[in-house]
Structure 1
């Protein structure tokens, strides 16, 4: 149950951060206006809070692991939202990042304390 909650929080963080950055991109680069930018800033702020709900108490570990989720999630966002088609190197790189994410977050560890 703890792992499922953790994974859900990582996905939620990715949607908030990638979505927020995309909204700002759309507002600025695609001239959609300040409301898009404002929504992006709010989403990025929400992302900052999501990580605090992770069961692991180590900030550095959470953010390091999240980097792998961010990489893979960014490519997936591009596919789903912008019609981006990753090549095999994008997919291999994302796979490596997700492997790193899994090792950092879920490898067996001695109990700290």
Structure 2
């Protein structure tokens, strides 16, 4: 499903953009980190509009589970912290919610 591809690209943009601000404010990195961070957040916002849906709120809600999954990958691959069983349980619950929202027949 193309929506999931857009969700993962959006998640990468959102997490990278927010992490740039985290690095600047919490890790003492250069303010120049905000340049790619802002670009990443712009990519996030524009990519999420590519998901085919009539309601933005429903897409944002469904995106939440993919964001949580992507955040745990970021935690593991970028920050070097392996997710534990509680992280995995939590993301599983989120992905069930994402699937219900995306795959259900909604009446507008």
Same fold by TM-score greater than 0.5: yes
Give CA deviations for 1:14-56 in whole Å, capped at 9, x if unaligned: 0000111111111221122111122112211221111111111
Show the counterpart of 2:59: 62
For 2:31, the equivalent position in structure 1 comes to: 34
TM-score w.r.t. length of structure 2: 0.91
TM-score where L is the length of structure 1: 0.87
Any stretches of 5+ residues in structure 2 without a counterpart?
none
Query: 5+ unaligned residues in a row in structure 1: which ranges?
Result: none
Aligned pairs for 1:12-91 within 5 A: 12-91=9-88
Shift of 1:96: 0.7
What is the RMSD computed on CA atoms of the aligned residues?
1.4
- Of stretches 38-47 and 85-94 in structure 1, the one that deviates more from structure 2 is 38-47
Equivalenced residue count is 108
The DSSP-based 3-state class of the residue aligned with 1:82 is coil
Q: Is the 8 A contact 1:28 1:37 kept in 2?
A: no
Deviations 1:75-108 (A, max 9, x none): 111001001122111110011101111111123x
SS at match of 2:3: helix
**Greater relative contact order, per chain length (Cα 8 Å cut-off, separation 6+):** 2
Distance 1:44 1:66 in 2: 15
